[in-house]
Amino acid sequence: MDPARFERKSAYEWHIRPFGKMRVPGVIFASEDLLREMDEKVHEQVVNVAMLPGIVKASWAMPDAHWGYGFSIGGVAAFDVDQGGVVSAGGVGFDISCGVRTLHTGLKVEDIDKVKHRLADELYRAIPAGMGSTGSIRLNDAEMDAMLKGGARWAVERGFGERADLERIEESGCMFGADPSQVSAQAKKRQKDEMGTLGSGNHYLEIQRVTDVHAPEIAAAFGIEQGDVLVSIHCGSRGLGHQIGTEFLKRMVIAAPSHGIVLPDRELACAPIGSMLGQEYLGAMRSAINCALANRQMLTHLTRKAFARILPGANLPLLYDVSHNTCKIEEHPFDGVLRRLYVHRKGATRAFGPHHPDIPEAFKEAGQPVLIGGSMGTASYILAGTDLGMGLAFGSACHGAGRAMSRHQALHRWSGRQVVDDLEMRGVLIRSPSMRGVAEEAPGAYKDVTAVVDAAEGAGLARKVARVQPLICIKG
């Protein structure tokens, strides 16, 4: 995009003044280089979101923003029910509550090196991955509803993990207000055999080493040191979340005229928060959040068992679990008043600052851990939320590197075998059921995650804590 189209507020903040039917400004957080590289659709989608009823303050895009369905991926917007605010299925996305959780291992790189290939093979056997992957866990109708209601708490009660895990998960592992009765039979059917699976696309399980510590005092609060080995799991609500998104988008498009809503784009289908349709979507969407939390909890359990078979002395406590495709009710000060807002984050991570009541006691002084996934074979980052960020975009930050080209383009540029061989030469072991999927997720298909993270820190959205590099990647 041409920077001349924006009003530059700082080195990392670019504004679109309201025009036409925009109710609030558009704001993109990015360096000038990242802004120039963004596709034109990001500008269009930021503008369109700014036209939705009840939006407050601004329509934002994070430094990793790229073209998405309705909202750009990396889009953030908050809506006030008292001002006719809406909830948008396109503002949450299809992979509801896709997110990242990171585990400590208590190990150093030298502990992994001697068993690296065995560990990679064992994790690949233990973690079902790939398109349509299914696991050994089967849920009947009653257990499905209990899982959708209870999230990670349900999983822990069924033996998939430890109670201490719940203290390190957003919402303490269970999203309040879930209503499994609003989840269709088809959505439940799709999920029945998919619990405890990674899925495909950009989902992964990585063994990582901490290469750099940027904020030692915060890293200490997070329990991180240079040379530590961590495990990160990136996945979401699988087929259930996708089905919910598909069904409610159709319903919202049809119902919009009856609510007096004129959509700037059909993909921004939405419903008034207080409407029956809006409440039904929220009940289903919260159920999908719980599904994702339960799924990552099950994967954590499978990972711990795999580690125990290769490295019996390893202990894998949870560092933190964050989601990045959600709509949540949060209280934020705006215009001098504490307001209850419905904050949509699509491909954006919650990044609450120090002393926020919704983050664990262990992180009160440091701020919330913000887990940023890179591309396969490149770095990932651990950040911390800031006080400044709370006032910028209601405590939000980027969620990953962000795609620089489509999967179709990546397929024409790389072969999966080439990517696997190149990465192994660099010390990164890839295990995947699909060479096509590996090619689609080639590191070169993504933006430079360091540039994205530097922009997030430069804008004040979050603070860099540590950089991690992959050693093993189980890829969907």
Around Cβ 314, how many Cβ atoms within 10 Å?
Answer: 19
**Rounded Cα–Cα distance for residues 384 and 218 (Å):** 8
Among the listed residues 461, 457, 467, 465, the one whose alpha carbon sits nearest the alpha carbon of residue 220:
465
What's the CA dihedral at 384, 388, 389, 390 to 10 degrees? Answer: 110
Q: Which contacts (CB < 8 Å, 24+ apart) does range 106-112 have? A: 106/314, 106/315, 106/316, 107/228, 107/229, 107/311, 107/314, 108/227, 108/228, 108/229, 109/209, 109/227, 109/229, 109/471, 111/229, 111/311, 112/207, 112/209, 112/229, 112/471
For residue 174 the two structure tokens come to 């269970």
Catalytic residue among 234, 301, 344, 399: 399
DSSP string, 14-65: EEE---TT-SS-EEEE--HHHHHHS-HHHHHHHHHHTTSTTEEEEEEEEEEE
Identify the DSSP state of 444: G
Among the listed residues 123, 211, 135, the one whose alpha carbon sits nearest the alpha carbon of residue 430:
123
What is the maximum alpha-carbon separation in the chain?
64
Around Cβ 61, how many Cβ atoms within 10 Å?
Answer: 35
Judged by DSSP in three states, 320 sits in strand
For residue 138 the two structure tokens come to 């089967």
Q: Give Cα 81 to chain centroid, integer Å.
A: 25
CA separation (Å) from 474 to 75, 363, 388? 28, 29, 36
Question: Is the dihedral angle over the CA atoms 266, 17, 349, 419 positive or is it negative?
Answer: positive
- Catalytic (active site) residue 301: no
Judged by DSSP in three states, 262 sits in coil
Identify the DSSP state of 233: E
Beta-ladder partners of 431:
474
Instruction: Please check whether residue 75 is in contact with residue 398, taking contact to mean a CB–CB distance below 8 angstroms.
Output: no
**Rounded Cα–Cα distance for residues 436 and 75 (Å):** 28
**Rounded Cα–Cα distance for residues 263 and 87 (Å):** 13
Show which residues are catalytic: 399
